[in-house]
C-alpha cells in the first residue's frame, strides 16, 4: 500500500464521525432545539452520548459524513420520512408489562365502581411500544371474566410511528414480562417457539380490543371522547415546566370530571397546575368545589 493510498484513506475517514467522538456544542444545540420544537422534549448536555448512539446508524444509512450535515438535512424539511425516523429514535423509552403495578390495582378498583350504563374508557397517552396498553387491557379483561367491570375501551397513542407498529403487533421478548402474574401470561399471551423462542405474542382477542394512534401531545389534540382514566407515566420528566403545564391541561380537558390521571410514581404535579388533588401515589383528580 502506497503512502498516497494511506493518505487518501486517512482523509476519507477523517470526515466520518465515530460514534464515540460525540458532536459539537453547536450541532447538539441544533438537534436539541429541533426535538423541543417537534416533541417538547428538553435535552440536556448530558444526553449528547445518547444522541450520538441513537443517530449514528442514520448517518451511515444516509451517507452523510457529519452530524452537522445530518441535522441540516432534518432541518431542511426536504426529507420528512428521515425526520420522523430521527424523532422516533430520540423519543423511544423502554417499558415493560405491569410497570408500577400499584396503578393497575387502582385501575381495577375504579373500573369496579364505574357506572355500568356507559363505557369505561382508558387512554395511555404516551404508550411507547404498547406494554402499558396491554397491561391495562389485561387488568380490565380479568374483571370482565367475573362480571365485575362495565364494557370498556382502551386506546394508546405515541409520537413515534416506529413504536406504534411494535405495539400493534404485540410481539415482545419474555424479558419484558418479569412483573406479569404467571396466570395472565398464560391466559393472554402465546409463547414463541422455534425461531421465536424467548418471545411472546399478545393473544389476538386482546389485541383486537385496543386501538393505537399517533398523537403529538404538545400540539392541539384531536377530538377525543371523554376518558375515565388517562395514563401519562414517566413522560413529564422530559418536559420543561411550561410544556408540562400545556400537556397536562390538554389531557385534563379530555378527562371526565371524576376521572383519574396517572403519572409516574416518582413524578409529581405539585406546582405544575392548580386544581388537582392527589388520590394515590402518582394519581390525581380534579378538585371538587362546592
Taking only the tens place, the pLDDT of each residue in 176-194 is 998 999 999 999 999 999 9
pLDDT given at position 22: 67
Q: Is 160 exposed, middle or buried (0-12, 13-18, 19+ CB in 10 A)?
A: buried
pTM of the model: 0.81
Residue where a domain stops, chosen among 91, 113, 133: 91
Query: For residue 12, is pLDDT > 80?
Result: no
| Pick from 122, 115, 118: nearest CA to 140 | 122
Q: How far is CA 244 from the centre of its chain?
A: 15
Q: Cell numbers at residue 252, please?
A: 385534563
Is 71's pLDDT higher than 50? yes
**Boundaries of domain holding 149:** 102-170+209-286
142 and 272 in a single domain? The answer is: yes
Q: Indicate whether 28 and 82 sit together in one domain.
A: yes
Query: Which domain-ending residue is among 59, 91, 123?
Result: 91
Q: Spell out the residues 6+ positions from residue 148 whose beta carbon is closer than 8 angstroms to its own.
A: 111, 112
Residue 102 grid cell: 400499584
Is residue 53's pLDDT more than 90? no
Average the pLDDT over 27-37 and give the result.
88
What distance in Å separates the CA atoms of residue 185 and residue 189, rounded to the nearest whole number? Answer: 5
Does the pLDDT value for residue 253 go beyond 60? yes
Q: What cell was used for 250?
A: 390538554
Instruction: Give percent of the chain above pLDDT 70.
Output: 91
DSSP state, residue 189: E
Closest CA to 192 of 160, 221, 170: 170
In a domain, 239, yes or no: yes
pLDDT of 98 > 90? The answer is yes
Could you say which DSSP state residue 176 is in?
G
CB 221 within 8 A of CB 250: yes
Region 64-85 average pLDDT: 86
Task: Examine the domain organization and report whether 78 and 110 are in the same domain.
Answer: no
Which pLDDT score is estimated for 46?
A: 83
**Based on the domain organization, do 54 and 111 belong to the same domain?**
no
CATH number of the domain where residue 164 is located: 3.40.50.150
Confidence check: pLDDT of 133 > 70 = yes
Last residue of a domain, one of 37, 71, 91: 91
Q: Of the candidates 248, 247, 131, 130, which has an alpha carbon nearest to the alpha carbon of residue 179?
A: 131
Average pLDDT rounded to a whole number, residues 23-50: 86
Judge if 162 and 218 occupy the same domain.
yes
* Torsion sign over Cα 74, 240, 101, 275: negative
Q: Which residues pair with 171 in a beta bridge?
A: 201
Enter the C-alpha cell of residue 57: 446508524
Q: Mark whether 152 and 251 lie in a shared domain.
A: yes
- Are 15 and 52 members of one domain? yes
Tell me, yes or no, whether 74 and 115 share the same domain. no
List active site positions.
54, 158
| Nearest-10 crossing angle of helices 131-145, 102-113 | 40
pLDDT of amino acid 269: 92
Same domain, 237 and 120: yes
Report the alpha-carbon distance of residue 225 to residue 217 in Å, rounded: 16
Q: Is residue 191 part of a domain?
A: no
Contact in structure between 55 and 86 (CB atoms under 8 Å): yes
Gap between the Cα atoms of 45 and 51, Å rounded: 10
Amino acid at each position: 500500500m502506497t503512502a498516497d493510498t494511506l493518505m487518501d484513506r486517512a482523509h476519507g475517514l477523517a470526515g466520518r464521525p465515530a460514534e464515540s467522538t460525540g458532536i459539537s456544542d453547536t450541532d447538539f444545540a441544533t438537534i436539541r432545539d429541533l426535538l423541543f420544537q417537534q416533541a417538547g422534549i428538553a435535552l440536556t448536555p448530558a444526553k449528547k452520548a445518547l444522541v450520538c448512539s441513537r443517530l449514528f446508524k442514520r448517518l451511515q444509512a444516509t451517507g452523510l459524513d457529519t452530524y452537522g450535515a445530518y441535522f441540516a438535512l432534518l432541518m431542511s424539511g426536504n426529507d420528512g420520512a428521515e425526520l420522523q425516523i430521527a424523532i422516533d429514535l430520540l423519543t423511544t423509552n423502554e417499558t415493560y408489562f405491569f410497570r408500577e403495578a400499584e396503578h393497575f390495582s387502582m385501575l381495577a378498583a375504579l373500573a369496579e365502581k364505574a357506572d355500568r350504563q356507559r363505557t369505561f374508557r382508558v387512554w395511555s397517552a404516551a404508550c411507547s411500544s404498547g406494554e402499558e396498553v396491554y397491561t391495562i387491557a389485561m387488568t380490565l379483561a380479568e374483571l370482565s371474566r367475573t362480571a365485575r367491570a362495565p364494557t370498556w375501551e382502551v386506546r394508546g397513542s405515541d409520537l413515534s410511528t416506529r413504536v406504534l407498529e411494535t405495539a400493534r403487533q404485540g410481539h415482545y421478548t419474555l424479558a419484558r414480562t418479569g412483573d406479569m402474574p404467571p396466570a395472565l401470561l398464560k391466559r393472554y399471551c402465546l409463547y414463541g417457539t422455534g425461531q421465536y423462542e424467548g418471545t411472546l405474542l399478545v393473544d389476538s382477542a386482546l389485541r383486537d380490543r385496543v386501538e393505537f394512534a399517533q398523537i403529538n401531545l404538545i400540539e392541539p389534540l384531536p377530538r377525543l371522547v371523554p376518558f375515565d382514566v388517562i395514563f401519562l407515566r414517566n413522560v413529564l420528566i422530559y418536559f420543561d415546566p411550561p410544556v408540562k403545564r400545556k400537556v397536562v391541561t390538554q389531557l385534563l380537558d379530555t378527562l371526565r370530571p371524576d376521572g383519574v390521571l396517572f403519572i409516574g410514581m416518582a413524578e409529581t404535579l405539585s406546582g405544575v397546575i392548580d386544581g388537582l388533588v392527589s388520590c394515590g401515589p402518582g394519581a390525581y383528580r380534579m378538585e371538587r368545589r362546592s
